[in-house]
Structure 1
Amino acid sequence: MAKLTAQVRIPASDRQIAALERIDKEDFSLVIYRTKKAFDEREIHHPESFFEDGITSLKQYYCTTIFDPHNCHAVADNLDRFWHEHVLDTARYSILCRDLKGFMHHDPLDRRNLDKVAAIGQVYLYTYKVLTKIFGKKNLNENFFPEKPEIDILVCRHDVHPIPDAEVKWDDVLPVDKTIEKIRAQYGNQAKISEIEEQLKKRNSGNGV
Structure 2
Amino acid sequence: MNDHWENMARQGSRFFGKMTASLSHEIKNALAIINEKAGLLEDFTLMAEQGRGMDPKRLKSLAGDIMKQIQRADGLVKRLNRFAHSADEWVRTVELEEALALILSIAHRPASMREAVLEAEPASTPLQVTTKPFLLENMIWACIEFFLSENQKRIRLIPEKTSDGVRIRFVGDLPLPESSGLLFPGEAEKVLLRALGAELRMKPATGEMVLHLPKGP
TM-score computed with the length of structure 2 as normaliser: 0.26
Greater strand share, structure number: 2
Larger radius of gyration: 2
TM-score computed with the length of structure 1 as normaliser: 0.26
